[in-house]
Structure 1
Amino acid sequence: MASKISDDWNVLRHGPLVPLSDNLWWVEGDLPDMSLKRVMTVARRGDGTLVIHSAIALGDKELRELEALGRPAVLLVPNGLHRLDAPAYLKRYPDLKVYAPRGSRAKVEERVRVDGAYEDFPADDTVRLETLDGVKEAEGAMLVRSKDGTTVVLNDAVFNMDPKKDVLGWLITTVMGSAPGPRVSRLSKLLFIKDKAAFRENLRRYAELPGLVRLVVAHEKVAHGDDAARALQRAMTFL
């Protein structure tokens, strides 16, 4: 995918900007040359500015809707594989502050400027970041507090999608063990989960968060309500 990364605003097919809560929005879009879908999550901080997690280049209508929500101020690049539209966002919004997990920073910086690691992010009462344990600091979590409760936003640490039938999709979802979800994929365990017990403790802690109302992951399905805790608990069984 690296050869496709540029600072051009290249809009692939995507869905609408879906409100999940009073300060949280979600977009699902295509990936080049594969059937998997990717997800962008947008959170609005207490000061009215926007935090964009795993950016997707939007069409004109959705881009106007995004900008009407607040000023894009922070771009989170959640690992070295989710860089596709990051350069385009930084070109369009040059004042963005870019953050990436410490263990993925070097890979992200091959394509886009990074201003800090997740622990450098200025948290407030609505949005904070954590680095996950047991994953070589390669991934983290965004926790968003809304009027209806708390949302946990992960990346490739947990997958929640259905198997695919095309060749590449079948390889990723079946051979690499990424579906059916929710689950921790075989590929994730091979690439970056080095301490399963420590990582399992992260998922347990998130599942037991008071007021947990939502789990968002990088690829496809959102788990709502009690399903959010159940999704995290099920994912733990794959470690």
Structure 2
Amino acid sequence: MHRQPWQARALLIAAGLSELAVVAASSATPVSGPGQGSGPVARVLGLTVPPAGKVGYPPIDIPKPVADDVFIVDSLLPGPMGTALPVRMTVIRLGNGDLLLHSPTQFSDALKTELEKIGRIRHLMAPNVAHWTFLEAWQRACPDVTTWSAPGLRERSQVKKSGVRLDHDLSSFPPTAWIGITLVEVVGGLGFSEIALFHQASRTLVLTDLVLNLEASKLPAPIRPLARLFGVTAPDGMPPPYLRAAIKRDRASATKAASRLLELKPERVIFAHGLWFERDATNALRRSLRWLLG
């Protein structure tokens, strides 16, 4: 950003600090279902979440197959100023029929029932330090699950206060039961850590926040210029500037991990927010990682 005018730098810094402040002030317990806009916080702030089709990827909160033994569940989260943010869970059916829920979204009995038609819910995965807030509801509804988390997540103050159960920390070595799964740990500075998951049989790479690829047409008009300035819009979306800066604090390690992701040559890349890469995925991923790889 050293070639940008001071106004642009100030705007980016302010936006990053604002988002960090929101995260710090957020409750560890979700108070409203995704896209409902009817929880206590939404009522107090007067938020109205737009229809799912305008911001998200319907059908909402329904498992959708994308490859053999790979499913996605698109959902919505209330965002700032009455907006909504698309969020996505990826579901992997392991060789023994058990389900792995990667970055679980809002729990509902209806969603649980639909997932149980696919397999037994046995594993929950919190893949980075931000995507964990819905774990507890799934744990209560599925008492036999094992919860796996990104390194460092259990040390965060909000996680400790929440009382959520984290059974095991993940690393680059997958659990024994996860046959056919490759894990890649992406580590940055300021405590950032994300575990990428590669489903070998379908050549599907599952990320979380390492790619943000929001469609401008699904954003409110006043926010679109800022989103483009941040570089988070499709087709070549990147993480927001503050996250890129945090990851670059350990650039050598993060670059090595990013190169490893490209070496996997995924046929599709799924991530938590925005339009995922359904085709030409390796090239699309390379473009989205240009801020790290050059």
Assess same fold via TM > 0.5.
yes
Contact 1:104 1:139 in 2 (8 A): no
Please report how far the alpha carbon of residue 186 of structure 1 lies from its aligned counterpart in structure 2 after TM superposition: 0.9
Structure 2 counterpart of 1:238: 291
**What is the alpha-carbon distance in structure 2 between the residues aligned to residue 54 and residue 101 of structure 1?**
11
2:256 maps to amino acid:
E
Q: Which residue of 2 aligns with 1:198?
A: 253
Name the SS for the 1:203 alignment partner.
helix
CA offsets 1:86-117 (integer angstroms, 9 cap, x no match): 11111111221111111223234443111111
TM-score, normalisation: structure 2: 0.69
2:90 is aligned with 1:90: no
Give the 3 Å change call, closer, same or farther, for CA 98–9 of structure 1 in structure 2.
Answer: farther
- RCO comparison, higher one (Cα < 8 Å, 6+): 1
Give the counterpart letter for 1:131 in structure 2.
Answer: E
Distance in 2 (alpha carbons) for counterparts of 1:138 and 1:29: 23
Match in the other structure for 1:99: 148
Kept in 2, the 8 Å contact 1:12–1:57? The answer is no
Question: Is this contact kept in 1: 2:188–2:246, CA < 8 A?
Answer: no
User: Which residue does 2:49 correspond to in 1?
Assistant: none
Q: Rg larger in 1 or in 2?
A: 2
Is residue 21 of structure 1 aligned with residue 21 of structure 2?
no
| Structure 2 counterpart SS, 1:69 | coil
Structure 2 SS opposite 1:238? helix
- Give the count of matched residue pairs: 234
Q: 2: CA distance between counterparts of 1:61 and 1:161?
A: 27
Judging changes above 3 Å, is the alpha-carbon distance between structure 1 residues 115 and 76 closer, same or farther for their aligned structure 2 residues?
A: same
Which amino acid in structure 2 is aligned with residue 75 of structure 1? L
State the secondary structure of the residue aligned to 1:179.
coil
Determine the C-alpha separation between the residues in 2 that align with 1:175 and 1:89: 37
Q: Which runs of 5+ in 1 are unaligned?
A: none
The one of 194, 206, 231 equivalent to 1:139 is 194
Larger mean CA deviation between 51-60 and 216-225 belongs to 51-60
CA contact under 8 A between 1:104 and 1:137: conserved in structure 2?
no
In structure 1, the residue matched to 2:233 is 179
Give 1:12 shift.
Answer: 4.1
**Contact between 2:97 and 2:120, CA under 8 Å: does it hold in 1?**
yes
Which amino acid counterpart does residue 35 of structure 1 have in structure 2?
Answer: A
Could you tell which deviates more after superposition, 18-27 or 77-86? 77-86
Q: Deviation at 1:54?
A: 1.0
Whole-angstrom distance in 1 between the partners of 2:98 and 2:89: 16
Further displaced range: 128-137 or 67-76: 128-137
Q: Does 1:68 align with 2:120?
A: no
Q: 1:84 to 1:166 in 2, by over 3 A?
A: farther
* Gap change, CA 1:194 and 1:103, over 3 Å in 2: farther
Q: One-letter code of the match for 2:232?
A: S
Change (3 A) 1:89 1:20: same
Query: Residues 166 and 31 of structure 1: is their aligned pair in 2 closer, same or farther, counting only changes over 3 Å?
Result: farther
Q: How far did residue 72 of structure 1 move?
A: 0.8
Query: Which residue in 2 is equivalent to 1:129?
Result: 183
Tell me, in whole angstroms, the C-alpha distance in 2 between the residues paired with 1:231 and 1:127: 22
Q: Greater helix percent: which structure?
A: 2
Distance 1:182 1:230, change over 3 A: farther
Match of 1:114 among 156, 166, 172: 166
CA contact (8 A) 1:9 1:88 kept: no
Amino-acid identity (%): 26
Structure 2: which amino acid aligns with 1:17? P
Whole-angstrom distance in 1 between the partners of 2:226 and 2:116 = 34
CA displacement at 1:204 relative to structure 2 = 2.6
Gaps spanning 5+ residues in structure 2: where?
1-22, 37-59
